[in-house]
Amino acid sequence: MMARSFSRMGMSGMRQVRAMSSKPVLNYFSICGRGEMSRLVCAAGELPFEDKAWAPAFDETGGWRQGYAAIGNAFGFPSVLPILEHGDVKLFQSVAIESYLASISPKFSGLTPAQKGVDLMFQSIRSDINGTTESLLFKKIEPGDLPPVMEKWYGIIEGLLPESGFINGLDFPTPADLSVLVIAKGCMPFQAAPAIAGCSPTPKKYPKMFRVATNAAAYPPVASYLAASEHQTLKADPFGIMPPE
């Protein structure tokens, strides 16, 4: 019986079993950036994981700390982070990693296709904003280029959010809410770049965005993760850009 079960399972099923028996390992820098969403997905989704946070994230010249390229290169990936390792599963691209982690998180196991689609939409918005804001920090665009782009995105987000509760209508945050949390409260580059450009969002102007972000951060598993975060990656500000809270 056992042999027939494994035969029916096939190699893909056996790989899935091996992956599920281990903790996912996230390789990223000790800032918010493109890795914090994955951390928050694991926290809210009640999925144990190993956070290999590269600290410090930057070297003395302000460039990325060197040495990380070998992680992705070993799997045939570009020299980028984040990289996820989970048994036989190896992934790069932040939204792919977040979506995979959400798909194996116990708390998110009952999400409908529609709810997952909404999550992916907000994750993609977060990724687009990440690219634009980090372009300012890495001096690919000028400060004056950022305000019209961010005001457009903030307006779109505010218009998509419900008047109360979490985005998917549940009593817990899903990746959509966590995306809003990162956009509204993540320092590098989401809040740091608008601070430089003079276009930081405010709760008065975008009340629904900040309500969702605050409620997602207060959700007990997320709050516990944020409090215990070794490098306080959501708010990490290695260049001292943000004013004291």
**Domains recognised in the chain with CATH numbers:** 111-218 (1.20.1050)
Q: Encode burial over 17-53: b for 16+ CB neighbours within 10 A, e otherwise.
A: eebeeeebebbbbbbbbbbbbbbbbbbbbebebebbb
The yes-or-no verdict on residue 72 having pLDDT over 60 is yes
Looking only at the bridges linking them, the beta strands covering 50-54 and 25-29 are: parallel
Looking at the predicted structure, is the pLDDT value of residue 178 above 60?
yes
Average pLDDT of the residues of the chain: 92
Q: Is the pLDDT of residue 2 over 80?
A: no
Cα separation, 68 vs 80, in Å, equals 8
Q: Does residue 4 carry a pLDDT above 50?
A: no
Count of other CB atoms within 10 angstroms of residue 139: 8
The pLDDT of residue 133? 98
Model pTM score: 0.91
Cβ pair 27, 82 in contact under 8 A: yes
Partnered with residue 90 across adjacent β-strands are: 85
**6 near 162, Cβ under 8 Å?**
no
